[in-house]
Amino acid sequence: MLELRDVTAGYGPTEVLHGISLTVGPGEIVTLVGSNGAGKTTTLGVVGGRVQVRAGDVRFDGVDLRRKRPDQRAALGIGQVPEGRRLFNSLSVRDNLVLGGFAHRRRRAEAKAKLAEVFELFPILEERAGAEARTLSGGEAQQLAIGRALMASPRLILLDEPSLGLAPRMVGRVFDTLRRLQERGVAVLVAEQNAMQALAVAQEGYVLVRGRVTMRDAAANLRDNPEIVSTYLGGVAA
């Protein structure tokens, strides 16, 4: 479904990714593991369209993404939950969600049904539907960011550090949400410092070191790899 081949990318004169290749299949959860500055966010930026590709190929269902703007990628079925959530703070929770489906220009009934789906997944958002997004707690805001991305009925969701700044109980709920998305057939590409938990829900993991993929393996194998555990997962092998 998503394929990056030998991708080189960066910001201004700085090259961050040096020939990265990765794939995400339909309904698959793939985790990017790596320390700060390894290139996880840049990789998501390449897929989401915020980072220009200098060389290599990026395809989504066979469509060349390199010349597509982020809003066009959303219309193709790529949902994004950017780092920092990037909510529309002056608008209500409901308006944030409705705008998540902007690319589809749905009829009122369809939009309502989609909204009900998201409310079923995140009941707290229905309770706070009329509240301004700026008033939400960290956990609620994260649920809104994921819910907003789901409003576009994406086939792939990009999540950048979804557990950042969340209480441990809420972190568990976010990763549980990823499982539920997978049950609905949505593929997920997630960059996460909390790699142990991210690998626990993923099928596949990629280890990034200074802009290069140094290892690709089944997520379960990475969780059992003592070298990976000591370097990136900060603990003892599961």
Partner 1 sequence: MSSFTQYLFAGLSNGAIYALIAIGWVLIFNVSGVLNLAQGELLMVGGLTFAWLAAETDMPVIAGIVLAIGASVGVAVVLDVVAVRRVKSPEVVPVILVTLGASFVLRELGRIVFGADALRHGYLIDGDPIMIFGAALLPQAVLTWVIVGVVVGLLALFFRRTVFGKAMVACSDDPVGAQASGISPSRMRTIAFGISGALAGLGGVLIISLTSLSWDGGTMIGLKGFIAAVFGGLGRYEGAVAGGLALGMLEAFGAGYVSSAYKDVFSLGLLVVLLLLRPQGLLGGRVVTT
What value, to the nearest 5°, has the Cα angle with vertex 57 and ends 201 and 40?
40
Helices (H), 11-137: 40-48, 70-76, 93-100, 108-121, 123-127
Taking the least distance from each CB to partner 1, the nearer of 154 and 205 is 154
What value, to the nearest 5°, has the Cα angle with vertex 126 and ends 125 and 130?
90
User: Residue 209 in 3-state DSSP?
Assistant: strand
Told to check if 237 binds partner 1 by CB under 8 A, we report: no
Stretch that binds partner 1, among 26-34, 42-50, 118-126, 175-183 (CB under 8 A): 42-50
How many C-beta atoms surround the C-beta of residue 132 within 10 A? 16
Among residues 52, 89, 214, 230, the one that binds partner 1 under rule CB under 8 A: 89
Among residues 3, 57, 95, 217, the one that binds partner 1 under rule CB under 8 A: 95
219 phi/psi in degrees, rounded to 5: -55, -40
Site for partner 1 in 47-86 (CB under 8 A): 48-50, 69-71, 74-75, 79-80, 82, 85-86
Q: DSSP state, 203?
A: S
Taking the least distance from each CB to partner 1, the nearer of 12 and 185 is 12
Backbone conformation region of residue 173, classed left if phi is above 0, alpha if psi is from -120 to 50, else beta: alpha
Among residues 87, 115, 188, 195, the one that binds partner 1 under rule CB under 8 A: 87
Among residues 150, 152, 202, 233, the one that binds partner 1 under rule CB under 8 A: 152
Told to check if 100 binds partner 1 by CB under 8 A, we report: yes
Q: Which residues bind partner 1 (CB under 8 A)?
A: 48-50, 69-71, 74-75, 79-80, 82, 85-91, 95, 98-104, 148-149, 152
